Chains A and B, each alone.
Chain A
Amino acid sequence: MGKPKFYDFCVHAVPDGENTVEQLSAFARHLGYSGIALANHSDKLPQSQPVLPFTNGFEVFRGIELVEENPSKLHGLIGKFRKSVDVLIVHGGSENVNRAALENPRVDILNHPAFAKSSGLNQVLAKAAAENDVAIGLTIRPLLHSRGPRRVRLLSDLRANLDLARKYDVSLVLSSGAMSCFDLRSPMETLALAEVCGLEEDEALEAITVVPERIISRNRPDPGYIREGIEVLEEGDYC
């Protein structure tokens, strides 16, 4: 099987975060990741499309984190950006946005769905997420930076979502949600933190290796791919 490849699917670079893509990718590579997804918030996009550095064995994926309160505008934004990005994340945090994101199969990940006094998910939304194959994104940045009551709250929300995700078989993605280099943590540390916070070892490993790979392969189909279930395996003249 070999060594698993780790991915960090929510990293914010300049002008959203503090560091440039080059610095973030160099640091993530040093920590042992095989790839990161640059996912700036959609209200803080750079003027021009940044050139993504590519080095052997390390890839920076094009991503975006959509911030929009209005569900119908959100669907519009999803349509607008879907073609140009590899990873489409929705910035959750209200009932309408969570619902709109989980019911749209073109969304890849819904990040931090929790809002005031609720973990952000219920059985209806969890079922929708499983049907549309939208993953729930767990970002570790808030867990690192908060202490005391706030972190207790975050952890209990996480546990509630985890229970629902297990029951309805919703996939999870672990990411850093980094705003600067200092928010990045190595894969082993991320796994250890996730396990202390209530995930099982195999769930955590899957959330940082298999699920991100699946999202990428879904959004970058093979050349022979026509639509779901139909694929050109072998070309030739059959006249």
Chain B
Amino acid sequence: MKRLLPSLRAKKRYLAFELISEVPVSRSDLVKEVMSSASSLLGDITASECDIKVLGFEESKGIIQCSHTKVKETRASLATLTRVNGKRATVHILGTSGTIKRATEKFLQNTTIDPEIRKIQNI
């Protein structure tokens, strides 16, 4: 199928995040939990408008895509994520950007996890 013209595509925002969790978490578990907390807080209708997708997720950092008008709702629903696969976890959003490239450059590269935060993760 022919791809939509750039001017017709939905505008998006990319949220760079880090996941702080008790145990390492797989991408599929995280996706499940993100979706369920979004539809629980916002309801299925608003959650569908948010157009939330977990794009990349590696070494407890990743990028979540959402609609550019629903950044606030997306942030709120990510805040209500408390457990992944039964183990406690927290999503901390590092920043938002309009392109994946910029989000990666600005928030995900050259940032190391604070040793203090490492300690909390290993409890």
Chain A positions near chain B (C-beta within 8 angstroms)? 19, 23, 26-27, 30-31, 140, 143-145, 147-148, 151, 180-182, 184-186, 188-190, 192-193, 195-197
Shortest Cβ-Cβ A-B pairs, 8 listed:
A192-B75, A26-B116, A189-B79, A196-B76, A193-B76, A192-B76, A182-B88, A192-B72
Q: Is the CB of B82 within 8 A of A27?
A: no
The interface on chain B, measured as residues whose beta carbon lies within 8 A of the other chain's beta carbons, has a size of 26
Instruction: With A181-B120, A195-B72 given, name 15 new contacts (CB 8 A).
Output: A19-B120, A19-B123, A27-B117, A145-B82, A151-B41, A181-B20, A186-B92, A188-B93, A189-B76, A189-B92, A189-B93, A192-B71, A192-B73, A192-B75, A192-B79
**Chain A residues within an 8 Å CB radius of B119:** 23
**Chain B residues within an 8 Å CB radius of A31:** 92
**Chain B residues within an 8 Å CB radius of A195:** 72, 76
A interface SS class: helix
**Chain B residues within an 8 Å CB radius of A184:** 90
Within 8 A of A (CB), among B21-71: 22, 40-42, 71
**Contact of B114 with A by CB under 8 A:** yes
User: Contacts A147-B40, A186-B93, A196-B42 hold; do A30 and B75 have CB atoms under 8 A apart?
Assistant: no
**Chain A residues within an 8 Å CB radius of B90:** 181-182, 184-185
User: Contacts A23-B120, A27-B117, A189-B76 hold; do A196 and B93 have CB atoms under 8 A apart?
Assistant: no
Chain A: which residue is nearest B115 at the CB level? Answer: A26
Q: How many A-B residue pairs have CB under 8 A?
A: 70
**When the two chains form the complex, which single residue of B42, B72, B73, B89 contacts A182, counting CB atoms closer than 8 Å?**
B89
**Contact of B80 with A by CB under 8 A:** yes
Chain B positions near chain A (C-beta within 8 angstroms)? 20, 22, 40-42, 71-73, 75-80, 82, 88-90, 92-93, 114, 116-117, 119-120, 123
Please indicate which of the listed interface residues A19, A23, A185, A195 has the most CB atoms of chain B within 10 Å of its own CB: A185
**When the two chains form the complex, which single residue of B42, B71, B80, B114 contacts A144, counting CB atoms closer than 8 Å?**
B80
Chain A: which residue is nearest B123 at the CB level? Answer: A19
A-B contact pairs, 23 of them (CB 8 A): A19-B123, A23-B119, A26-B116, A27-B120, A30-B92, A30-B117, A143-B80, A144-B79, A144-B82, A145-B82, A147-B40, A148-B40, A181-B120, A182-B20, A182-B88, A186-B93, A188-B93, A189-B79, A189-B92, A193-B79, A193-B80, A195-B72, A196-B77
**When the two chains form the complex, which single residue of B20, B78, B114, B117 contacts A189, counting CB atoms closer than 8 Å?**
B78
Chain B: which residue is nearest A195 at the CB level? Answer: B72
**Chain B residues within an 8 Å CB radius of A196:** 41-42, 72-73, 76-77
**Chain B residues within an 8 Å CB radius of A19:** 120, 123
